[in-house]
Amino acid sequence: MTGSLPLISGRAADDVLAWRAQGPVTVSQYLGDVQALAGWLPAGRWVINLCEDRYHFAVLLGACAISGRVSLQPSSQSLETLRQLAHEYAGAYVLGDTGTDLPGLPVHAWPSLDALAHTGDPPAVPAERVVAILFTSGSTGRPQPHAKTWGRLVASGRAEAEALGLAGQPHVLVGTVPAQHSYGFESTFLLALHGGCTFWTGKPFYPQDLAEALAAVPRPRLVVTTPYHLSSVMAADVALPPVDRWLSATAPLSETLAQRVEAATGAPVHEIYGSTESSQLATRRTTGGSAWSLMPGVRLEQEGGTTYAVDGHVEGRVALSDIIGLQPEPGRFVLHGRHADMVNLAGKRTSLAYLNHQLCGIEGVRDGAFFLPQEDSESRVARLVAFAVVAPGRSHADLLAALRRCVDPIFLPRPLVLVPALPRNHTGKITRDSLEQLYAEHVAGQGGGSAR
């Protein structure tokens, strides 16, 4: 992909791009802020982008893009991770907007910008320029970089708008996920700059926060969220302003939960499938069946049991971690679970994703996860454990009875542990390390058992 592409496309200067508590921000104001920040940024190519305000994030990413800098977007903001990035990317510095204390790191606070509204065409960015590097933790816990070029990012935003049918009906995006994460990056930033949408600059976490954010922006509204947040919304006694669409990612969403959300809000629930490595690849309406539809331009190739994503906005040829079944209809596929999540016991095979899906689909289960301890995984003797958060009045016996109706007895958890909450991170995911800790606290050394 060669040539140059504009920083923002398909928008007039006086169109609204973002919604803040102080009011709307136009495209010309955004471009003016981008140019002012690009002129202010300290020397150096690498900028660790820790901006919590989605508008600040967008301004910094734009400033990096037009000035030849790179926005580093770690999956974890732990001090150890940030120090590691600063060591590996010589001259890197942190720019944030929350005043976080990070001892030993060069940190710059968000500046007061004396910006003028931009006139004329948006600045152009070389399509092959790397403007962002996103990170996954990797099997060793060491951040693994995934470079994103401007041309592919522009194509990604346009592909998502087309796949979701938003090209002719732009929505206001209200995201509960951070912009640094690949899902938030694509579905609240790229979908705005190159998919015609606008975005709310905050990051509501609790249902009441979401209600207030929705009330602050006009319709049509699209909430970019996770299964965890959707479950919290359904469990809360909070009246939401009208939502026109829901979008979910980061973990499988049960059809049962999607049906509840659609019945309660009257808005369709869609999902995005992808990864940091591959970027977003496919969409589906959860209540419309298990099959996914590839985004425009993207293809899947299979070779030796591995599925690869290629073409479209995918950077290169990317091996996927999931077991994928291609459908007869072109561009359609189903997911059978992740290679690393497969459990094989006494000749029977299933996946942790499937078991989690069944557990979280039980009435009264607010959150849940199966876990295979490392020692069992290595010895191939599956002694599965499950952790669940349940509504008042739901018992351990209720859950086991429900699981017996949908899960082979050999995969029933031993034990099933009821806990007040699961240790999800800021994107709604549960890491293996956090489940290891939960297992150590509630199960290891206590002789197993049933309920805890």
Residue 382: how many other CB atoms lie within 10 Å: 18
pLDDT of residue 283: 98
What residue type is 368 in one-letter code?
G
Mind listing the pLDDT tens digit for each residue in 150-183? 999 999 999 999 999 998 899 999 999 999 999 9
Q: Beta strands 332-338 and 322-326: pairing type?
A: antiparallel
- Find out whether the peptide bond into 220 is cis, omega within 30 degrees of 0: yes
The CA distance from 184 to 365, in Å, is 26
β-partners of residue 293 are 283, 332
**Banded model confidence at residue 297, pLDDT cuts 50, 70, 90:** very high
Mean pLDDT of 356-378: 80
Give the list of residues 6+ apart from residue 344 with CB closer than 8 angstroms, or none.
Answer: 380, 382
Residue 166: how many other CB atoms lie within 10 Å: 19
**Banded model confidence at residue 42, pLDDT cuts 50, 70, 90:** very high
Mean pLDDT over all residues of the chain? Answer: 90
Mind listing the pLDDT tens digit for each residue in 118-127? 988 999 999 9
The CA distance from 20 to 117, in Å, is 17
Cα torsion angle, 77, 78, 84, 86, sign: positive
**Banded model confidence at residue 378, pLDDT cuts 50, 70, 90:** very low
pLDDT of residue 221: 98
String of DSSP letters for 120-169: SSPPEEETT-EEEEEEE--TTSS-EEEEEEHHHHHHHHHHHHHHTT-TTS
Mean pLDDT of 388-401: 89
**Banded model confidence at residue 346, pLDDT cuts 50, 70, 90:** low
Using the predicted structure, report yes or no on whether residue 451 has a pLDDT greater than 70: no
Mean pLDDT of 205-234: 95
pLDDT of residue 354: 80
Domains and CATH numbers, the chain: 4-336 (3.40.50.12780), 346-442 (3.30.300.30)
Higher-pLDDT residue of 428 and 281 is 281
Mean pLDDT of 375-401: 77
Mean pLDDT of 353-359: 85
Higher-pLDDT residue of 360 and 143 is 360
pLDDT of residue 124: 97
